[in-house]
């Protein structure tokens, strides 16, 4: 990690860097970038930044769209996907008032930094660690067409069960039987290993990678725990590495939550723990599943606000095609130990005090990680501040398979939203906790909701292939 511009300049010289690429994040959590020749990078670049038009990023109105990007040299890494030697870094978006730089409140990176500051100022903890699990599909082929008169989607993975009569080798994976399957069935092994090596080279430690349940080419890469803002940066880079490495192997990667019907969906489960100095805030040998009262209050905050959180953690129409029973995806508002049917799972294998934590299972990687991680922290801190006890509110612990409960028992449970529209309604009604400490600007939330409502309306007007199958001859 670089600590001075001089260190960066020396590194650029030693590695014959010819371009410097600045990566920013738009309201949807997608990278945007602008590049300058390496010879133009200097102390002045870092001090004064790069001016740009933010109106196309979704978080600034046109008449106030002139912004400045200030690079963060601590994030500088060589981009392995550029033929021209390129140093890549992210940073923060600023506004200028009377010659003074101020953080743009709507910039995703500024929001996650503000959430961390709010946590420290609260005295609850001085560090929050998260671990997002990245599930995704790798396809050998993927394409779609949508016109007024034509709709088609085609995806293919060479070892998928639907190729049993065409592949020739017999090395196909039965439906929903891909979990941890070994070679010769795991033909994407080397591609994933290369992804992991690139992550490690870019300072993102990885726990492991493996095949996931979906037999149409589903896999997972899991990094190690990291501080909230750094892991938001890392999440963007992890997706960038996965997509670009897949392309180099002649494949394509998607984080779409439900790209294959009747196969497992892809989530981004988020593990969370708080530290105060060297003391783990969430650990208590006498508590349920060895978690402290603060941990339970944090879970209570998440569960109280989970329906509105879904708008930020599951922000696509497709997200809610994953949140259905039968595919190890959560549908119930509750918590439990080692139970994947509840939205909060406490892993039984996290036994040491500094590793005791829980996992929020509803998020998926279509989210903007800066918004999602900041919102998760704000909901949990609201739970601690207001002493929201999940057990007293009837949210568990549910140490049973919630999918198989009798219907009369299921009727007593609270559930996650079934549509993005429902999550947006919840966010519109319940967002004050996000605005505490001026972390999330209300203008941003209103803008986000309006954009997503427009997205829902557009998709609701388009007939789909299953509708033709069901209704064409009615």
Give yes or no: 200 in active site: no
What secondary structure does DSSP assign to 16-82, as a single string? T--EEEEEEE-TTS-EEEEEEEGGG-SHHHHHH-EEEEGGGGTSS-GGG-EEEEEE-GGG-EE-TT-
Task: Measure the CA–CA gap between 181 and 467, rounded to whole angstroms.
Answer: 35
CA triplet 389, 338, 293: central angle to 5 degrees? 25
Which residue in 21, 107, 140, 220 is the catalytic one?
220
Give yes or no: 212 in active site: yes
Which residue in 135, 186, 233, 382 is the catalytic one?
135
Which residue in 53, 409, 442, 443 is the catalytic one?
53
Which residue in 198, 209, 356, 361 is the catalytic one?
361
Which residue in 107, 294, 359, 382 is the catalytic one?
359
Which residue in 120, 340, 419, 451 is the catalytic one?
340
Backbone angles phi, psi at 252, to 5 degrees: -135, 140
- Please report where in the chains the tokens 């595919």 appear, as a residue: 327
Which residue in 192, 198, 209, 269 is the catalytic one?
269
- Please report where in the chains the tokens 């606000």 appear, as a residue: 305
Assign residue 136 a region (left: φ > 0; alpha: ψ between -120 and 50; beta: otherwise): beta
Backbone angles phi, psi at 379, to 5 degrees: -65, -45
Which residue in 79, 116, 133, 233 is the catalytic one?
133
Question: In the chain, what is the greatest distance between 2 CA atoms, to the nearest angstrom?
Answer: 72
Which residue in 21, 212, 233, 382 is the catalytic one?
212
> Could you tell me which of 448, 449, 450 has the C-alpha nearest to residue 27?
448
Give yes or no: 135 in active site: yes
Give yes or no: 133 in active site: yes
Whole-angstrom CA distances from 225 to 205, 222, 229 are 9, 9, 12
Integer-rounded Cα radius of gyration of the chain: 23
Q: Which tokens is 314 given?
A: 């599951």
Task: Measure the CA–CA gap between 67 and 73, rounded to whole angstroms.
Answer: 19
Q: What are the catalytic residues? A: 53, 133, 135, 212, 220, 269, 340, 359, 361
């Amino acid at each position: 990690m670089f600590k001075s511009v001089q260190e960066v300049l020396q590194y650029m010289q030693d590695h014959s860097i010819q371009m410097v690429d600045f990566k920013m994040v738009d309201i949807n959590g997608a990278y945007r970038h602008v590049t300058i020749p390496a010879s133009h990078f200097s102390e002045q670049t870092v001090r004064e930044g790069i001016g740009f038009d933010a109106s196309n990023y979704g978080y600034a109105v046109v008449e106030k769209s002139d912004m400045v990007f200030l690079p963060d040299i601590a994030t500088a890494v060589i981009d392995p996907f550029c033929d021209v030697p390129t140093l890549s870094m992210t940073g923060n978006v600023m506004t200028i008032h009377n010659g003074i730089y101020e953080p743009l409140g709507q910039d995703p990176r500024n929001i996650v930094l503000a959430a961390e500051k709010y946590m420290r100022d609260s005295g609850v903890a001085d560090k929050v660690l998260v671990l997002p699990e990245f599930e995704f599909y790798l396809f050998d082929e993927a394409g779609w067409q949508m016109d007024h008169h034509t709709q088609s989607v085609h995806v293919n993975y060479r070892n998928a069960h639907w190729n049993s009569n065409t592949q020739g080798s017999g090395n196909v994976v039965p439906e929903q039987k891909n979990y941890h399957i070994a070679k010769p069935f795991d033909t994407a092994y080397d591609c994933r290993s290369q992804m992991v090596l690139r992550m490690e080279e870019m300072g993102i430690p990885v726990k492991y990678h493996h095949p996931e349940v979906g037999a149409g080419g589903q896999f997972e890469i899991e990094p190690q725990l990291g501080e909230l803002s750094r892991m938001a940066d890392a999440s963007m880079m992890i997706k960038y590495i996965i997509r670009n490495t897949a392309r180099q192997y002649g494949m394509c990667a998607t984080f779409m939550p439900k790209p294959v019907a009747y196969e497992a969906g892809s989530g981004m489960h988020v593990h969370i723990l708080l530290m105060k100095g060297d003391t783990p805030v969430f650990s208590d040998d006498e508590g349920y599943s060895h978690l402290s009262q603060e941990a339970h209050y944090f879970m209570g905050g998440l569960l109280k606000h989970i329906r509105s959180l879904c708008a930020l953690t599951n922000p696509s129409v497709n997200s809610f095609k994953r949140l259905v029973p039968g595919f190890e995806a959560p549908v119930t508002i509750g918590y439990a130990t080692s139970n994947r049917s509840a939205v909060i799972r406490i892993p039984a294998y996290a036994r040491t005090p500094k590793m005791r934590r829980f996992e929020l299972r509803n998020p998926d990687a279509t989210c903007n990680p800066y918004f999602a991680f900041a919102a998760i922290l704000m909901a949990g801190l609201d739970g601690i501040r207001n002493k929201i006890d999940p057990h007293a509110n009837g949210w568990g612990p549910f140490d049973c398979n919630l999918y198989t409960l009798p219907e009369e028992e299921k009727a007593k449970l609270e559930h996650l939203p079934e549509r993005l529209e429902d999550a947006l309604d919840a966010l519109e009604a319940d967002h004050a906790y996000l605005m505490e400490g001026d972390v999330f600007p209300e203008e941003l939330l209103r803008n986000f909701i309006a954009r997503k409502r427009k997205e829902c309306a557009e998709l609701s007007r388009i007939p789909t292939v299953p509708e033709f199958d069901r209704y064409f001859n009615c």
